[in-house]
Amino acid sequence: MKWLEWARELQALGQIGETFSRNEHEKQNFQRLQEIASEMVAEHTCFDQKALLESFSAQPGYATAKIDVRGAAVNQGRILLVRERSDGKWCLPGGWADVGEMPSEMVAREVFEESGFIVRPRKVIGVFDANREGRPLEFFHAYKIIFLCEITSGRARSSIETSAVDFFSFDDLPPLSFNRTNQRHLNEVRAHIEEGSRPAAFD
């Protein structure tokens, strides 16, 4: 969707330009770029243009990619997945990174909150561009970091965001919540389990 690529770039340029504006005239011009971006998205989606612009305004400073962290934990050859309440499909436990936390702490917390299992992150499986495989996660660009984790304790339980927790064979997976976890991610997890010295994937 070229219009989405253009809108995303316009929004980023407007945000960066507004941050470094030297006078009111420049600031207004860069704010107009963000308005155009919001109008483009509203024209092609069901999102409200005013709400989009407010969302853009809540992202001050230099425009950077967001970070999504996911924990891959395997027990007896079966991968831990959680079912998202938002779409009823399954994914690796995880979510948006919070400011101030170390990446390893972040993914361990997310796995515990969404599945009930306490894990120890062991290695990075891969860093993926989350916006280039199917429908974008959000308007904003995002990277996905997947960690291989070891389960140390805990028990399966659902959460505010997840309605079920279970382990699945890699050859018999449930319907996946594609924006959160897709087949490529799980193939890479499986490859790392089978080959312990495999380097982290990236794109």
Residues 88 and 168 in one domain: yes
Please classify residue 22 by burial: count the beta carbons closer than 10 Å to its beta carbon, then call 0-12 exposed, 13-18 middle and 19+ buried: exposed
pTM of the model: 0.75
pLDDT in tens, 75-108: 999 999 999 999 999 999 999 888 788 999 999 9
The more confidently predicted of residues 201 and 61 is 201
Please classify residue 20 by burial: count the beta carbons closer than 10 Å to its beta carbon, then call 0-12 exposed, 13-18 middle and 19+ buried: exposed
The more confidently predicted of residues 134 and 57 is 57
Q: Domain tally for the chain?
A: 2
pLDDT in tens, 39-65: 999 999 888 998 888 888 777 777 788
- Last residue within a domain, chosen from 16, 38, 57: 57
Residue 74: its H or E element: strand 66-75
User: Taking a C-beta distance cutoff of 8 angstroms, is the pair 10, 33 a contact?
Assistant: yes
Residues 112 and 34 in one domain: no
Residues 115 and 154 in one domain: yes
For the segment 147-154, the average pLDDT, to the nearest whole number, is 98
Residues 113 and 193 in one domain: yes
* Structure tokens, 129: 């561009």
* Structure tokens, 81: 């997945």
- Last residue within a domain, chosen from 35, 57, 79: 57
Percent of the chain with pLDDT over 90: 68
Residues 44 and 75 in one domain: no
Residues 141 and 172 in one domain: yes
Mean pLDDT (the chain, rounded): 91
Residues 78 and 169 in one domain: yes
| Number of neighbouring beta carbons within 10 Å of residue 76 | 6
For the segment 172-179, the average pLDDT, to the nearest whole number, is 94
Residue 96: its H or E element: strand 94-96
For residue 168, the model assigns a pLDDT of 98
Has residue 134 got a pLDDT over 70? Answer: no
Residues 77 and 140 in one domain: yes
For residue 137, the model assigns a pLDDT of 46
Q: Which CATH number characterizes residue 193's domain?
A: 3.90.79.10
Domain span including residue 33: 2-57
Residues 185 and 94 in one domain: yes
The closest of 54, 22, 21, 16 to 35, measured between CA atoms, is 54
Residues 39 and 71 in one domain: no
How far does CA 61 lie from the centroid of its chain?
Answer: 21
Residues 78 and 21 in one domain: no
Angle, helices 24-44 vs 2-19, to 10°: value is 160
For the segment 159-175, the average pLDDT, to the nearest whole number, is 97
Residues 181 and 157 in one domain: yes
User: Taking a C-beta distance cutoff of 8 angstroms, is the pair 137, 69 a contact?
Assistant: no
